[in-house]
A and B are shown apart, each in its own frame.
Chain A
Amino acid sequence: MSAKPFDSTNLSGAAGALLALLGGAAMLGWWLQLSSLVRVVPEYSPMVFNAALCFVLAGSALLTPFSVAVRHRRITTVLGGTLVTIAALVLAEHLLGLDLGIDWTALHAWLPDSNPKPGRMSAGTATAFLMSGAVLIFATRVRRPWVGIAVRLMTLGVGAIGVLGLAGYLVNAPLIFPEYVFATIAVHTAVGLLLLALGLWSAWKRAEWARTPLLAREDDRITFAGATVLVAISLAAGIASFAILQGRVQTLVGDNVHASLTRRTDMFRDLIELHEVNARIAATRPAMLRNLRVIHAGRDDGSNIANVKAVVESFLKQGFRGIAYHDVDAKVIASGGAFVQAPAMAVTLATPDRPELLWNGGFLLRHRISLRDSTGEVGTMLAEQPLPVLTRLAQNVEGLGSTGDMGLCVLRGEQLDCFPQRLNQRAFSTPLVNSAGEKLPMTRALRGETGTIITRDYRQQNVVAAYGPVGDIGLGMVVKIDAAEVFQPIREQLQLALGLLFLLAAGGTLLLRSRIRPLATKLRESREQFRAVAETASDAIISADGHGNIFHFNQSAERIFGYPAKEALGRPLTLLMPERFQEQHLAGFQRFLATRQSRIIGKTLELVARNKAGKEFPIEISIANWETPEGSFFTAILRDITTRKDADDVLKRRTAELEAANKELEAFSYSVSHDLRAPLRHIDGFSDMLRDECGPALNDSGRRYLGIISESVEQMGKLIDDLLVFSKMGRVEMRQTQVGMDDLVKEVVRELAGETNGRKIEWEIHSLPDVRGDRSMLKQVWVNLLSNSVKYTRPRDVAKIQIGCSTRSGELEFYVQDNGAGFDMKYVEKLFGVFQRLHRAEEFEGTGVGLANVRRIVTRHGGRTWAHSKIDEGSIFHFTLPEAR
């Protein structure tokens, strides 16, 4: 591992700075009691002080160069350790139900919040910080693969908690899924956790251990990515459809609740009014007033009181529970029924008669009306009417489900006094706001507002509530239903839908995998094949991208250039060239990229390369180019041709030497032809002149000597001529043409006629094919062979000479057979040598050059020569030539 930072610069640094800022702002907010800093959206959960502190710690760690260097590692480790400690303590509080006094409760007191433990970090957030701290500690200490995997998973976990927290807000989880663990994460805490995960990831991703991908196989990676996308799509689709559904249900239920409220308030008012009218009727009957006056005046004849009692009785039958008439002295004149002595609750209504609304196991309306006639006050009437319809209305919230309820309250000072309702059978009082500090729906109703809302009610339960005042009689009414019940069907549907979506995602993943596997296998096979070829090729194979940077460097390239692949990868191609060619290369490269014109691509060239030691050497190179959407790529296949070059040089030197030798030979033959002949001529000339002038003076021996001199001169002249022909056969350029062997042989036989005069020779010449070769040279071959046959058959009475040809494995095999003197096979090796003779000159004349010439010419034509013979029986000479094509 290298000690340099993991390149924790841009992203992780920026994330760290943002997180520190986020946490710092929240901490400041708690101290300065600025609710906009601790909770960005009113009524949403605030980021608690400890969470803010953790963000500051984590942000600081991300701002530190992230590396294995001891100094840096110590800082990240201390910060990570602190995070782990705080988070672990908070989790312990949650799990064990303890209060360790680390929640800064006092600091959070000023902000009304639904958090049952003010200042306590949510379990989800604590888990995220626990994992973040662990990542900070272990990312620089990955010694085993599983630690790396754990770091990756924990980072993923931090991000996932962030996402789940945000998702909770999208589906309004605090309302609908109160048991959802991540519902209590503040929205900006969730964003912060996402950012923290991103920062952690970018901090460790450049570490050495992180370079080996978690999934080794590419198809697994693709499948993983595909699965992630599928899950994300499923989640998004689920959440979106849920949000739509929720919106619709909310509207529907809200409308329903509101309609119910309107109906009830109307009914309520009407009933109150009706019973008020009843009471007024009872209080304003003129006969009654007259009777009361008479009774009060003491002029009752008995009939008056009886009348009053009869009226009381009749009213009791007409719906009054109790009714009593008093005279002005408050003396009871007549009374009937029963009156409520200690009602559970009594509220004076703001109507003209100011009746009291009582609760005594049911609603009652109590009137106390003073009785007056034209002369003045007569007395008072006390009447109680039960309101069974109203009671039924309050107790029976039909159509609103099992948690549907109707509340009826009155504002009394700083609290609400409420009549018993279906879910709460006792009268009760409650503050004006819920635990989150929001006005209760009833509070709103009593303030004269009408509307529908989703909020927490006095029970701190989430409800869908419609609220409004009951006319202007001072009562407020709320009709509500628990959110949990409202959203139960969609919760169930969501669970089903999510299950289906996950099944779909799983199915999709399997399908993806089944399609990609064979593809990846094929790809891997072909890549493996290419790799095997490229790696084991004896030629260097080097690939470069459109910037001219090397990305493939095989073993042979390593060997030829001396660079390990590690050193060459990513470096420009100019690394491998002598400096003087680099500029030209770059210009050519740019030209190619601009115009797609190249003088070198697709050709095999000889160039000069430079190895690591700086030594230049010749190479043979061919370059191919291919295009992909990512740009141009190049592959060069090259080999070191130093050895070949050396061999070429040797060959050139040899050729030069050979040419020099040839020149010498030419000069030699020239001097042979010119200079050696002159003295011969002189010997012959002067000896002849000697014979002419002094012949008579010489004795026989002298004349014989002169004769020998002449013969020798002639012999030597012939030798020189043959030698010249021989050397010429080796030197002169061949003029290849189509040569008809039939004609050639006939021509030679014709020319030999001079030598065969008077002899009996049977020629048997088979048909001969055409060949390719130098006509004059091939003629020389036939001349030599046939004149030999003619010569050596001289002792025969009838000479038989046979000429023919056969084809054998692409070669034409010619032969000349005679019945001549033959030769000893012991000396067959010497037969084709220069000046080699197997017969004495007295027997058969000759210079011993003829067969040497035959061999030389045939060899130059690419053929072979050989011979068989038996002394005194004859010889057969063979030569081959390549078949004419």
Chain B
Amino acid sequence: MTSVRPILLVEDNPKDVELIFAALRKSNLANEVVVARDGAEALDYLYRRGKFQSRNAELPIVIFLDLKMPKVDGLEVLKQMKNDAALKVVPVVMLTSSREEADLVKSYELGVNAYVVKPVGFQQFVDAIKQTGMFWAVINEPPPEKTS
């Protein structure tokens, strides 16, 4: 495991970002966590556009995607990714406050890999992030990277 691929966290709320960082910290993951503050930025990152033009080509090991965001929302990001042959192999985990059935259904229809509702209680929240992070970043075997 020479190069540890980063985790892409797409989340507009800085407080949530901070809490997620705190939770991830507690889980001692080695992966770098890249934060995109909305859907548009997430796509920029994935397509290496804008301020992410010069990043190296490796794809994130998992994307934690918030649903409700300004500009481009989570579902839109998911849709574009799953329509892109190169990006659709990247696991996407919805990390959201919504337990709405409609959101769940839509996400799964678009091919989301997991759907995690952020618990209100902080301890539970930390546990959820820990487990999710551990699973996707460590336990799960990611698809092999294409080297073209």
Contact = CB atoms under 8 A, between A and B. Distances in A.
Interface of A: 669-670, 673-675, 677-678, 680-682, 684-689, 710, 713-714, 716-717, 724
Interface of B: 13, 15-16, 19, 22, 67-68, 96-100, 118-123, 125
A677 B121 contact: no
B120 A713 contact: yes
Nearest to A669: B100
A642 B8 CA distance: 63
A688 B23 CA distance: 12
B11 to A, nearest CB: 11
A674 B13 CA distance: 12
A681 B19 contact: yes
A688 B122 contact: yes
Nearest to A692: B22
Contacts of A714: 120-121
Given A682-B15, A685-B125, A677 B100 contact: no
Nearest to A717: B120
Contact of B119 (A669, A674, A681, A724): A681
Q: Which 10 A-B pairs give the minimum distances between C-beta atoms?
A: A717-B120, A688-B122, A685-B122, A677-B97, A685-B19, A684-B122, A674-B97, A682-B15, A674-B98, A680-B120
A677 B67 CA distance: 14
A674 B68 contact: yes
A678 B13 contact: yes
A673 B97 contact: yes
20 contacts: A670-B98, A673-B99, A674-B68, A674-B97, A674-B100, A678-B16, A678-B118, A680-B120, A681-B19, A681-B97, A681-B120, A682-B15, A684-B125, A685-B122, A686-B19, A687-B122, A713-B120, A714-B120, A716-B120, A717-B121
Contacts of B119: 681
A82 B16 CA distance: 124
A66 B2 CA distance: 127
B19 A682 contact: yes
A713 B121 contact: yes
Contacts of B97: 673-675, 677-678, 681
B125 A670 contact: no
A451 B122 CA distance: 152
Contacts of B121: 684, 710, 713-714, 717
Nearest to B16: A678
Nearest to A682: B15
Nearest to B67: A674
Contacts of A680: 120
Contacts of A677: 97, 118, 120
Question: What secondary structure prevails in chain B residues at the interface with A?
Answer: loop
Contacts of A687: 122
B22 A689 contact: yes
A685 B125 CA distance: 8
Given A681-B118, A714-B121, A673 B98 contact: yes
Contact of A684 (B13, B22, B96, B120): B120
Given A678-B118, A681-B120, A689-B22, 16 more contacts: A673-B99, A673-B100, A674-B67, A675-B97, A677-B97, A677-B118, A677-B120, A678-B13, A681-B16, A685-B122, A687-B122, A710-B121, A714-B120, A714-B121, A716-B120, A717-B121
Contacts of B98: 670, 673-674
Contacts of A681: 16, 19, 97, 118-120, 122, 125
Contacts of B22: 685, 689
A724 B125 contact: no
Contacts of A678: 13, 15-16, 97, 118
Given A678-B13, A681-B19, A689-B22, A670 B100 contact: yes
Contacts of A682: 15-16, 19
A714 B118 CA distance: 14
Contacts of B122: 681, 684-685, 687-689, 710
Nearest to A732: B101
Contacts of B13: 678
Nearest to A676: B97
A669 B98 CA distance: 10
A714 B122 CA distance: 10
Contacts of B16: 678, 681-682
Contacts of B19: 681-682, 685-686
Contact of A674 (B96, B123, B125): B96
A724 B16 CA distance: 23
Contacts of A717: 120-121
Contacts of A724: 99
Nearest to A718: B120
Contacts of B100: 669-670, 673-674
Nearest to B99: A673
A660 B119 CA distance: 31
A716 B13 CA distance: 21
B42 to A, nearest CB: 19
A764 B100 CA distance: 37
A675 B118 CA distance: 12
B9 to A, nearest CB: 15
Contacts of A674: 67-68, 96-98, 100
Contacts of A686: 15, 19
A6 to B, nearest CB: 83
A677 B97 CA distance: 7
B13 to A, nearest CB: 6
Contacts of A716: 120
Nearest to A677: B97
A729 B92 CA distance: 31
Most buried by A among B13, B68, B97, B122: B122
Contacts of B15: 678, 682, 685-686
A276 B97 CA distance: 168
A414 to B, nearest CB: 139
A817 B123 CA distance: 39
Contacts of B96: 674
B95 to A, nearest CB: 12
B119 to A, nearest CB: 7
A724 B96 CA distance: 16
Nearest to B120: A717
A43 to B, nearest CB: 117
A673 B118 CA distance: 11
B22 to A, nearest CB: 6
Contacts of B123: 688
Contacts of B67: 674
B129 to A, nearest CB: 11
A2 to B, nearest CB: 78
A709 to B, nearest CB: 11
Contacts of A670: 98, 100
B106 to A, nearest CB: 13
B71 to A, nearest CB: 17
A689 B22 CA distance: 9
